[in-house]
Amino acid sequence: MRNAGLGSWPARRARMSPGRTAFVYEDRAVTYAEFHERVMRLASRLRAAGVAPGDRVAYLGKNHVAFAESMFATHALGAIFVPLNFRLAAPEIDYMLENSGAVLLIYAPECAQTVRALTGRHALRERVALGEPGPGEAQYEAWLSEGVPEPIDVPVALDDTALILYTSGTTGRPKGAMLSHANLVWNCFNLLANVDVASDEVTLISAPLFHVAALNQTLLPTFLKGGCSVIMPSWDVDRCYDLIEKYRVTWMFGVTTMFAALASSPRWAQADLSSVRTLMSGGAPIPVSLIRTYQERGLVFCQGYGLTETSPGATFLEAGESVRKAGSAGVPVFFTNVRVVRPDLTDVEPGEPGEVIIQGPNVTKGYWGNPEATAAAFSEGGWFHSGDVATVDEEGYIYIVDRLKDMYISGGENVYPAEVEGVIFEHPAVAQVAVVGVPDEKWGEVGCAFIVTRPGMTVTAEELREFLRPRLAKYKIPVYFEFVDDLPKTGSGKIQKTALRTWRRPSQG
C-alpha cells in the first residue's frame, strides 16, 4: 500500500479480521469488512466532490460511527480531518471552518440549527447531512450508497498532517493543533507499551470523539488491535452502566467529572462491573479519594497526562503502581521525553514545582496557519511548553499540580486550585468542586470554591472551612463558597474555569 497513514488502516484490518466487530452504535454492529467497504464508498464520494490530498474535511456532531467513517475516508484520500466541537455556537464554528479552509462539512441532525446559522465566509463547497439535508445539501446515507467500494490507495507519508484539532484556548481565538499520521501512530505505540490492549477488547467510547483523548487513546488503539468500540453518542451515567453490562465492556476512558458521576450514582454499589479490566483517566488530576473509591470496588485507574499537542499521551501511571503512587500522572511514556523545569529551563529538584515540557515523535508540528504561536510554544531542541505545573518525586514520578494559568497568588503565596479541590473533594457531601482565584483588596487574590453536593446531602460553607482547617494552610482555604446545581464544562467534560471567573461575585457564605 502506498498510503502509510491512517487511511490504509480499514483495509489492513479488514484483510486480517474481516468478520470481527469493529463498532457497535445504538445496538447495531459493524464488522471490519463492512466498515472498510463503507469507508471506500465514502472516500469515492469525497473524491468526486473534489476533495484532494491536503484538503480539509470537517465533521460536526456527537459520537457516531459516521465520525470514524468520515475520518478514515478523508485520510484515504490524503486529506486532513477537522473534527469540531458540536457544543460551540455558529460564530465559533464559522471561525474554525474559515481558519482551516475546510472544503466539505459533514454534520449531524443535532447541529442543523448551528449549520443554518453559518455566515458562509469560508471555503465550503459542499455540506453533507446525517439527518434531513437542507437546500443544496446531500444526505449522508444516500450519498455514501452511491459511492463505489473499489480500493483507493494514494501516496500518504507518515509526516503528512492527519488532523487539525482546535484547542479551547483561554484567551483569544482557539488554535488548530496539527497532528501528523506519525504523531498518531507513535501515540498508539506509546499507549500499547503501557496498556495491555487485546484483540478481544470491548472499549466504551463515552467521551467526545472530537477530543484528542477519546479518539487517540481509545478508538485508534482499539482499531489497531482489532477490538470492538462501543460508541455512546454522548455521556450519560445510566446508559454507561447499561452498555458496560450488556456488551461486557473491558476498557473505558473518562475524565474526573465522569468517574465522579458514576461513583455518585445509586447504581454504583450493585452494578455489574466484573468485565472491566482497565479504567483510564486524563484531562485533569483525579482526586486520591476518588481513586480509593474505585479501588474499594476492585477497579484500578491507569492515569495519564497529556495535551492535544502531544497526541495526547505524555506520561502514564501503570496499573501496578496505581496504589503506591496514587495521584501521580506516572512517568514519561515509552518513546517520549518529559522534563519539569524552572523558568531558566534547568530541571527542578524533587518536590519543587516547575513547568512540564515534552519532546518526542508524538508532539505536534505546530499550529495551523499560526507560525507565531508555533514558535512561542517551543524552545530549543523541540521541547514543547505545556503551561502545566508539576512536581517530580525522588523516583521520577510526575505529579501534575495545576495549569500555570489557573494558579493564583494570595498574599504572595502561590495557590494551585487542583490541590485545594482534591482536599475539598474528600468531604463526603461534595460531588463536584472547582476553585478559582478572585480579586481581593487585601490579599490580591483569594479562593472561591464552587460546590455541587451529592444528591440528598447538604453542607455549609462554615462546615467546609472547619473540614479544611486541619488539612490546608490558611491561605489556601477559599474565602468564598458558592453552592451550585452544576458546573460549566468544556466539550471534553473538563470544568470550564474561564466561565466560572465571569460569574457574579459570590457572597462569603
Which cell is 264 given?
A: 455518585
Q: What residue type is assigned to position 72 of the chain?
A: F
Angle at CA 369, nearest 5°, toward 367 and 370? 60
Per-residue pLDDT at 171: 45
Helix 9-16 and helix 65-76, axial crossing angle in degrees, nearest 10: 110
Which cell is 335 given?
A: 518513546
SS3 350: coil
Which pLDDT tens digit goes with each residue over 276-300? 999 998 766 677 788 889 989 999 8
Contact 308, 316 (CB under 8 A): no
Count Cα neighbours of 101 within 13 Å in the Cβ-side half-sphere: 8
Give Cα 384 to chain centroid, integer Å: 19
Count of CB atoms within 10 A of residue 3's CB?
23
Look-up of cell digits 479490566: 277
C-alpha closest to that of 285 among 403, 195, 414: 403
Contact 239, 261 (CB under 8 A): no
C-alpha Rg value of the chain to the nearest Å:
23
Per-residue pLDDT at 262: 95
| Cβ neighbours of residue 366 closer than 8 Å, sequence gap 6 or more | 177, 178, 373, 374, 377, 378
C-alpha closest to that of 81 among 181, 191, 208, 207: 181
What residue ranges define each of the domains in the chain, with the CATH number in brackets? 6-157 (3.40.50.980), 183-198+222-403 (3.40.50.12780), 408-501 (3.30.300.30)
Below-50 pLDDT ranges, the chain: 170-171, 506, 509
Per-residue pLDDT at 168: 62
